[in-house]
Structure 1
Amino acid sequence: MAIEQSATEERVAIVTGAARGIGAATAIRLAAEGRAVAVLDLDEAACKDTVEKITAAGGRALAVGADVSDEEQVTAAVARIAEELGAPTILVNNAGVLRDNLIFKMSVSDWDTVLNVHLRGAFLMSRAVQKHMVDAKFGRIVNLSSSSALGNRGQANYAAAKAGMQGLTKTLAIELGKFGVTVNAVAPGFIATDMTAATAARVGMGFEDFKAAAATQIPVARVGLPEDVGNAIAFFSGDAAGFVSGQVLYVAGGPLD
């Protein structure tokens, strides 16, 4: 997809967990909207493929390595992005990990790791970036929740983190709205990514069989793709979504309770 440069001022976006999957698709989608994109992941080298796809299409991108659950690394990463790309006014909190297990088998480390990356990471990134948004009188924060926020066997940690993302979203929307900042959440259902492939392996199924079984339970009769989520995030991050804030959009191929 070729990059179309907007006549308006180029905005800088940060997408966390952008080396692969939903994060990579989102970074590429936002670049296609004319954004300069900081492709942030735990391993900077892993961001190379996403950055190359953006730059090959004529966009600007920067690979950034940081642990979003580490306050000092987050502060340093945001400072570097502001210096090398420009002040970030779009943030997509996508970074995440899985440590699935039933509650009686779940270790404290399993719990802490998932809560720290998803929820603490979103808090630290949002806190670090919001000052640039307030100064610009414009900002878009999009948090990645999940259909698992409604509860999912073997995912007490992940479900709690993703439900927490919804509470964080609504609270930040209230606090930051008067500064021109909107905050929304996208909650994917079954999306074909490395993470869902890992879930298939955990339950002892081949990934193709796992996807086929999931599709039978989805009204549109297919599983989601990372690009499906990226499209929703692109809407929330754009100018047209200026009167939409504090919302949770399920991208799941059908209604959820």
Structure 2
Amino acid sequence: MFSAKSALLLAVGVLIAFGANRFYSQSTANQTDGTMEDYKSAKSVYDFTVKDSHGADVSLEKYRGKVLLIVNIASQCGLTKGNYAELTELSKTYADKEFKILSFPCNQFGGQMPEGDGEEMVCHLRSANAEVGDVFAKIEVNGDGAHPLYKYLKHKQGGTLGDSIKWNFAKFLVNREGQPVDRYAPTTSPSGIKKDIDKLLVNGDDADPLYKYLKHKQGGILGDSIKWNFSKFLVNKDGQPVDRYAPTTSPKSIVKDIDKLLQA
């Protein structure tokens, strides 16, 4: 039979345990909420760290200055064969360029990526002859458990009928500044993205020779590099670049300059 002192000690113990548990729960909830909100304050994909297929941390800072194609891959999807083949082709086409594919295995869609990380994933991709860029640890791309990188990508490039990833092989294109600039449906073939990749590869040592020439003949403000999408060069009838316009210059405002060249 408990004495009054024992009962008091037991009551105090229960209260302490309850209070500690409540504090821990609140702290964990706050940490979770904070983590969930972190992606909204990210300046670029370089702010994120992911795990490689063997569990080691990889800062996306290592990809600074490269054009990136980020894809959630699966091994047993109806889209797998075509995407593996075309992602492999892209990897080979741009092997000597500042371009990289980042592939994230994901099992959220019909359980179609059952393979585990590490050697099992390596063996699967090898047997499929799939050279799909740098392959990372399996992640979730939707829901509260989605990786912060994917929360950020969806936040920056919303989708049709909601921001959620709809299926395997959704694709995000990231420019050299680490900014997501486009999003493609799972059914968009990687080869169909090539023209958009080429547009982003207009700066640096591996820029297309045409753009090297245009920038050489018509330098820009604060350096010759192309500053953003929709930079424009006007070329005369003799093939000489005669003017350059900022991305914010509307095509309509260039009409008068075009007319002058046509009348010359």
TM-score class, shorter-chain normalisation, is under 0.3
Higher-Rg structure is: 2
TM-score, scaled relative to structure 1: 0.25
Q: Going by fraction, where is helix more abundant, 1 or 2? A: 1
TM-score, scaled relative to structure 2: 0.25
